[in-house]
């Protein structure tokens, strides 16, 4: 036991333990191969057992080359992690030492004399490789430390970015939920708006129907009066005819005269009856929901009809109102295909507005003012022009720019929905492929121009 060199064993244990610990830490073997890391932590124990056994067995070759064996183990470990930049740097550091040891041992074994003579030089070379290895080791450690710092900073930045990402995802989720609620609220509001819009359109149609009905009630009174009057006269004539026939010597010429009068009365009754029936048909046609079917229509007859009906409708509401209404209708105007119910609503709405404008101006008490509404028709090359003009209050530019917008009205609350001209514009432009324009001067009057294609 006294022959054992404990100082050599101790130095070998310390050197190999430090070398393996260096590799373990800088190659981060504990993260990649925990089992190998545990083995390297007890390198000192393995070296002690290895050298102590070699000393007992007198295996001088092993004790003399323990550092070579440890070097081979280190090279093997570095080779296993050769993909790592640190391992490549360590490999560069170890190569000169390996070469120096290899040459030293070969020279010592093959050329012992040369080795003894140049022992100092060989030792110097070997020392240089050791310093080279230590220098690279320190440099590698600094690099590893710098990389570790950079990784830690990167990890901190990653955590910060992850936290920001989670915060942004939370904000996006909150915003998405808020937008979803807003969307649902808007959908509900839109549905309610559609319902309200349909109610307003229905109210506009009913208001238009009410005005039309008032005009019809007044207009239909005339033919009914004629029918009643001529019926009464015809009854009296029939009584006279019966009395004359009851006489023995009746006057034949007088009977013929009475029969002629009765015939004329019946013709007038039939004429005014047809007139009343025509008015009723117009009312029913206007009140009936539009079928969307276009029919050949006499625009002149429609314009004349609605002009008078609109006037009498306004007169039914205001007995004090009086106005002139005129027509200037083109006799050569052809019939064109349109939807009578819809186009009738357009005419009635615009004419009602015209009479309303002259009625408001007449209330101003302007001396010499005579309220007048005129409707004209004219055949152009490929279009029919309908012009509805009045000498009423007119419109400023600000009003004229909005007159076809939905729900815009200049009438007092309760007297207009603001949908009449908007619906009229859609009926003319979208339903009939025409155009509806307005010309107006404030205080002078307004002209609505309707252009309809003949084909």
Q: What is the pLDDT of residues 42-96, one digit of tens each?
A: 777 777 776 666 666 666 655 556 666 777 777 777 777 777 776 677 766 677 7
Q: What angle do CA 346, 348, 354 make, to 5 degrees?
A: 105
Rg of the chain taking only CA atoms, in angstroms: 58
Bigger pLDDT: 39 or 443? 443
Distances (CA, A) of 418 to 315, 336, 402, 405: 22, 29, 10, 8
Q: What confidence category does residue 287 fall into, taking pLDDT thresholds of 50, 70 and 90?
A: low
Residue 362 contacts residue 348 (beta carbons within 8 Å): no
Strand 435-441 with 383-390, pairing: unpaired
Which residue ranges make up each domain of the chain? 6-164, 294-455
pLDDT tens sequence across 231-255? 887 788 788 778 777 777 777 777 7
Distances (CA, A) of 199 to 100, 196, 421: 103, 5, 17
**1 pLDDT exceeds 50?**
no
Cα distance between residue 142 and residue 113, in whole Å: 43
Q: Is 376 exposed, middle or buried (0-12, 13-18, 19+ CB in 10 A)?
A: middle
Cα distance between residue 88 and residue 86, in whole Å: 5
Q: What angle do CA 11, 12, 17 make, to 5 degrees?
A: 100
pTM over 0.85: no
**312 pLDDT exceeds 70?**
yes
**313 pLDDT exceeds 50?**
yes
Quick one: CA dihedral 332, 335, 341, 346, positive or negative? negative
Considering the domain delimited by 294-455, tell me its CATH architecture: 2-Layer Sandwich (3.30)
Q: What confidence category does residue 386 fall into, taking pLDDT thresholds of 50, 70 and 90?
A: very high
């Amino acid at each position: 036991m006294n022959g054992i060199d404990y100082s050599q064993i101790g130095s070998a244990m310390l050197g190999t333990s430090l070398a393996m610990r260096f590799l373990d830490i800088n190659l981060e073997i504990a993260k990649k191969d925990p089992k190998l890391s545990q083995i390297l932590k007890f390198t000192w124990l393995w070296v002690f057992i290895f050298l102590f056994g070699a000393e007992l067995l007198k295996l001088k070759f092993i004790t003399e080359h323990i550092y070579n064996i440890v070097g081979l183990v280190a090279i093997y470990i570095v080779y296993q992690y050769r993909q790592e930049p640190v391992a490549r740097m360590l490999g560069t550091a170890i190569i000169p030492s390996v070469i120096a040891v290899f040459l030293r041992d070969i020279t010592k074994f093959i050329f012992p004399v040369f080795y003894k003579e140049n022992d100092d030089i060989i030792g110097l070379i070997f020392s240089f490789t050791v310093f080279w290895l230590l220098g690279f080791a320190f440099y590698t450690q600094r690099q590893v430390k710098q990389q570790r710092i950079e990784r830690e900073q990167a990890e901190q930045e990653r955590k910060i970015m992850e936290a920001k990402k989670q915060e942004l995802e939370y904000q996006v989720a909150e915003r998405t939920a808020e937008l979803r609620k807003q969307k649902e609220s808007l959908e509900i509001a839109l549905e309610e708006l559609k319902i309200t819009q349909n109610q307003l359109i229905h109210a506009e149609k009913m208001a238009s129907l009410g005005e039309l009905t008032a005009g019809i009630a007044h207009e239909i009174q005339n033919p009914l009066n004629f029918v009643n009057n001529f019926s009464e006269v015809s009854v009296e004539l029939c009584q006279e005819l019966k009395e004359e026939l009851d006489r023995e010597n009746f006057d034949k010429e007088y009977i013929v005269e009475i029969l002629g009068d009765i015939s004329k009365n019946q013709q007038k009754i039939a004429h005014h009856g047809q007139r009343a029936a025509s008015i009723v048909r117009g009312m029913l046609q206007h009140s009936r929901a539009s079928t969307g079917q276009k029919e050949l229509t006499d625009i002149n007859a429609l314009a004349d009809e609605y002009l008078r009906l609109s006037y009498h409708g306004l007169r039914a509401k205001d007995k004090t109102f009086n106005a002139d209404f005129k027509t200037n209708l083109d006799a050569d105007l052809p019939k064109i295909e349109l939807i009578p119910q819809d186009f009738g609503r357009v005419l009635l709405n615009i004419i009602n507005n015209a009479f309303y404008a002259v009625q408001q101006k007449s209330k101003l008490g302007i001396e010499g003012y005579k309220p007048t509404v005129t409707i004209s028709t004219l055949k152009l090359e490929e279009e029919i022009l309908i012009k509805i003009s009045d000498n009423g209050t007119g419109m400023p530019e600000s009003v004229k720019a909005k007159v076809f917008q939905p729900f815009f009205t200049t009438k007092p609350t309760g007297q207009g929905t603001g949908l009449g001209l908007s619906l009229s514009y859609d009926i003319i432009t979208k339903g009939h492929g025409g155009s509806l324009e307005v010309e107006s001067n404030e205080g002078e009057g307004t002209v609505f121009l309707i252009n309809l294609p003949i084909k």
